[in-house]
A and B are shown apart, each in its own frame.
Chain A
Amino acid sequence: MVVDGEPGPKTKTEDVKLEGRSPGQLMWIRFKRDRTGVISAYVVGFFFLIGLCAPLISKLYGKDPYTVFADERPELFDSAGVPVQPNGGISGDFWFGLEPGNGYDVFTKLIYGIRTSLMISIAVTIAVVVTGILLGVAAGYLGGRTDFFIGRVIDFLLAFPAQLFFIASMPVVVSLFVSPRDETPTYVRVVALILVQWFLGWMSLARILRGTSLALREREFIEAAKVSGASSWRIIRKEILPNVVTPLLVQATYMLPAFVTAEAGLSYLGVGIVEPTPDWGQMFAKASTELVLRNDITYMFFPGISMIIFIVAFNLLGDSVRDAFDPKAAR
């Protein structure tokens, strides 16, 4: 049967039952009931925990991602640096095997890589959210010339060939921080990655928030606040911001995994994080070398599968968060 929307009375009744609860509580209650969402949240949480505890885990495991096992344990490698044991040298000592090339321990490299990638992506997300709120709400609420100007800036930035721009601007941004003569500390590359992705990352969120606050501006309670003489800033802070939390949270859950993959993509192309700093994308770069493709296909599954699990879990989580906020949304 075709006409199969959620039946009308449902939301109504739910609202009645949960009368008196804040939207946040409502969302939380709905979310907790969503088993897929909860499991996804655990998986995502697990990744964050791994990232957070990477130093501790590697201490317990007794290895770090910087040891060059190809020189420490040369008997495990051939002259091109490929592990001689099958399956990428997986053994009791090296749970996920050894990286072809310098023979880093894949397990610690992966958990540190997750740490790096997540750190960058969280920072980008925060930066984008803040910018999105500032510009989106400003455009939507203030309207007029501000709106027009921000709108044109967004149009302009959306016409950028994003990936190409990332590649072209990474060296520039890096050089803004260090003179070409000095070593580029890892944090500079990290900051550059954050800046570059932030620069072309905030527009869609700002557009959504603009729409939301534009709609809110026309609503009675804002009118009321205006009539009662509240300042614009106060209205934005007290009335608008609490009401854009929903689209914001939903968008942020979708954005973060996108930033993770974008960051990994840049490192894959060689303009992001480079060896020996462990990074998810840099592991993909290694995995796509002829050496690995030909000799050690096992290696590529560790970054590959872990990223798929992470992204799938995060997207499922995003769906659940959206459903929890907006149960009417089509699924």
Chain B
Amino acid sequence: MLRFLVRRFLGAVVILFLLSIVTFVLFFGVPRDPALLMCGKTCNPDSIANIHHVLGLDKSIPEQYWIFLHNLVLGSDGFAQGPCPAPCFGYSYHSNEQVWGTLIDRLPTTVSLTIGGAVCFLIVGLGTGLLAAWRRGTLIDKTATAGAMVLSSMQIYFLGPLALAILVYQTHWFEKPAYNEFTANPASWFAGLIIPWVVLSTIFAAQYTRMSRSAMIEQLQEEHVRTARAKGMSRRYVFFRYAWRGSLIPIVTIFGIDLGSLLGGAIITEYTFGLPGLGNLAVQSVFFSDLPLLLGVMLFSATMILLFNIIVDACYAFIDPRVRLA
């Protein structure tokens, strides 16, 4: 187990390293100059050169990259804006805030959105999927399958605005979604996120319904499930002990992927509801050519994805004794 973790984490570090290079190259591929954005009304080549110098953009790209890596690992006191302990992504060009601080700052929004949404869609999605598989072929199953088919074909950029239009703007039943800190006021935290949760989990739940239903049905056709029935085990027992155990593998896999990418910033959801999470931060960093922020968000998101990949693989070992981690 330990060897597995060490190996996988090393692999992840290599991938992150490559990704940071790609992001760097990508950024310098953009023919727009962050200095222009900071230059203000009285902009001329001198002041641009000046800003370049302040930002370190006058150094060669490899040199800048080296500095970036160095700061990331060791931190730096060299920033004009203040000290920057490791992991140091530097200071945002746009807001002059420490990138790492900004990421940590935005994280609770994204985590709230993701966890709340995940709880909803896991319960509803798996519940419906299992029910449909249990009552396979009945009207319940067909309704659930058809409903899941339609809902999973919906997009957040349709369902989200639709929910806003109906629930917020037309009927005024709900507040416009916003992020309020849980610690400050749990009720308003809940009220502010309820619509994003519902929208996010509607689409995801439909997907989990489809997935868990077909995984269960597939498992129920496994020979070992038939053996268990042939031993005289009850349907319920076989369903929940044998088939469910096997269905866990695809479910955990997809759930890991979803959770990883959502925690890295649910871009469209956050954009639609104007939630100040990592996804919105990412969009912002692109629009403002904010390299430190872009690098920060990109690496953070990729870390989430990789982390959950590893977690999923580790989970396999608990679910399936055939899997040996090494």
Q: Which of A72-80, A234-242, A301-309 makes up part of the contact surface?
A: A301-309
Our pick among A1, A156, A265, A293 for the contact of B268 (Cβ within 8 Å) is: A265
B221 touches A303 (CB 8 A): no
Is B239's CB under 8 angstroms from A156's CB?
A: no
Residues of B within 8 A of A165 (CB): 298
Is B294 close to A, CB under 8 A?
Answer: yes
Q: By the criterion CB–CB under 8 Å, are B265 and A171 in contact? A: no
Chain A residues contacting B282 (CB-CB under 8 Å) are 161, 164, 167-168
Asked whether A168 and B286 contact (CB < 8 A) given A180-B32, A284-B158, the answer is yes
Bitwise interface map of A from 273 to 290 toward B, beta carbon under 8 Å scored 1, else 0: 000000001001101100
Give the docked Cα–Cα distance between A265 and B267 (Å): 10
Known contacts A4-B136, A169-B26, A308-B150; is A284 also within 8 Å of B161 by CB?
A: yes
Q: Which B residues between 287 and 321 are near A, CB-CB below 8 angstroms?
A: 294, 297-298, 301-302, 305-306, 309
Residues of B close to A1: CB separation below 8 A: 235
In the complex, what residues of B have CB within 8 A of residue A261's CB? 155
Q: Let me know if A308 and B153 touch, CB within 8 A.
A: yes
CB A298 to nearest CB in B, in angstroms, measures 10
**B29: which of A162, A175, A303 is its contact (CB, 8 Å)?**
A175
A328 closest partner in B (C-beta): B221
Contact with A along B212-253 (1 / 0, CB 8 A): 001001101100011001000001001100000000000000
Q: Which of B29, B221, B267 contacts A5 (CB 8 A)?
A: B221
Across the two chains, which residue of chain A brings its CB closest to B238? Answer: A2
1/0 contact string of B21-56 vs chain A (CB within 8 Å): 001001101111000000000000000000000000
* B-contact bits for A1-45, CB 8 A (1 contact / 0 none): 111110000000000000000000000000000000000000000
A304-B162 contact in complex given A4-B221, A168-B23, C-beta closer than 8 Å: yes
Report the separation of the CA atoms of residues A159 and B155 in the bound assembly, to the nearest whole angstrom: 23
Residue A268 lies at the interface, judged by CB distance under 8 Å to chain B: yes
Known A-B contacts A2-B229, A3-B226; the reply to A171 vs B286 at CB < 8 A is yes
Q: For the complex, is B154 an interface residue (Cβ under 8 Å from A)?
A: yes
Q: Which chain A residues border B297 with CB–CB below 8 Å? A: 164
Tell which of B19, B153, B168 has the most Cβ of chain A within 10 Å: B153
B265 neighbours in A (Cβ, 8 Å)? 161, 164
Q: Show 12 residue pairs from A and B whose CB-CB distance is below 8 angstroms, ordered by the A residue.
A: A3-B221, A5-B221, A155-B11, A155-B15, A156-B19, A159-B15, A159-B19, A164-B265, A179-B31, A261-B155, A288-B272, A300-B161
A159 to B17, CA, bound (A): 12
Asked whether A163 is an interface residue with its Cβ less than 8 Å from the other chain, the reply is yes
Say if the beta carbon of A230 comes within 8 Å of chain B: no
What is the predominant secondary structure among interface residues of chain A facing chain B? helix
Q: Is the CB of B268 within 8 A of A315?
A: no
Whether A168 pairs with B154 at a CB distance below 8 angstroms is: no
- A52 within 8 Å of B by Cβ? no
What is the chain B residue whose CB lies nearest that of A155?
Answer: B15
Known: A167-B267, A175-B31. A265 touches B217 (CB 8 A): no
What's the dominant secondary structure at chain B's contact region? helix
Q: A161-B264, A265-B268, A293-B161 in contact; A330/B155 too (CB < 8 A)?
A: no
CB of A238 to closest CB in B, whole Å: 34
A171: which B residues are within 8 A, CB to CB? 30, 32, 286
Known: A167-B286, A315-B153. A3 touches B169 (CB 8 A): no
Q: Which residue of B lies closest to A287 (CB)?
A: B161
What 8 new A-B contacts, CB under 8 Å, besides A281-B157, A308-B150, A312-B150?
A2-B225, A4-B136, A5-B221, A160-B19, A162-B261, A171-B32, A285-B157, A294-B169
- Establish whether residues B283 and A159, one from each chain, have CB atoms under 8 Å apart when the complex forms: no
**B149 close to chain A: CB less than 8 A:** yes
Set A155, A268, A293: member contacting B164, Cβ < 8 A:
A293
Contact of A300 with B162 in the complex, beta carbons under 8 Å: yes
| A156/B15 in contact, CB under 8 A | yes
Chain A interface, number of residues (Cβ within 8 angstroms): 50
Number of A-B residue pairs at CB separation under 8 A: 148
List residues of chain B with CB within 8 A of the CB of A172.
26, 29-30
Q: Which residues of A contact B218 (CB under 8 A)?
A: 330
Q: Bound state CA distance, A104 and B160, in angstroms?
A: 23
Q: Which residues of B contact A294 (CB under 8 A)?
A: 165, 169
Q: Is B187 an interface residue (CB 8 A)?
A: no
In the bound complex, residues from chain B placing their C-beta under 8 Å from that of A264 are 155, 157
Does A331 touch B at the CB level, under 8 Å?
yes
Say yes or no: B220 contacts A3, CB within 8 Å. Answer: yes
A264 to B298, CA, bound (A): 22
* B137: nearest chain-A partner, CB-CB: A4
Residue B18 is within 8 A (CB to CB) of chain A in the complex: yes
A206 within 8 A of B: no
- Judged by a CB distance under 8 angstroms, whether A205 is at the interface is no
Q: How far is the CB of A11 from chain B (nearest CB, A)?
A: 13
Inter-chain contacts of B168 with A (CB < 8 A):
293
A172 to B23, CA, bound (A): 11
Q: Which residues of A contact B19 (CB under 8 A)?
A: 156, 159-160
Q: What is the minimal beta-carbon distance from B225 to any residue of chain A, in angstroms?
A: 7
Known: A3-B226, A330-B221. A160 touches B283 (CB 8 A): no
| Contact of A176 with B by CB under 8 A | yes
Q: Nearest chain-B residue to A309 (Cβ)?
A: B153
Given the complex, which residues of B lie within 8 Å of A304, measured CB to CB? 158, 162
B257 nearest CB neighbor, chain A only? A158
Contact B169 A293 (CB under 8 A): yes
Known contacts A168-B23, A168-B286, A288-B161; is-contact A2 B149 (Cβ 8 Å): no
Does A215 make an interface contact (CB < 8 A)?
no
Does B170 sit within 8 A of A, measured CB to CB?
yes
Name the A residues within 8 Å of B264 (CB-CB).
161, 164
Which residues in B have their C-beta under 8 angstroms from that of A156?
A: 15, 18-19
| Complex Cα spacing A161 to B22, Å | 12
B residues 140-179 near A (Cβ < 8 Å) are: 149-150, 152-155, 157-158, 160-162, 164-166, 168-170
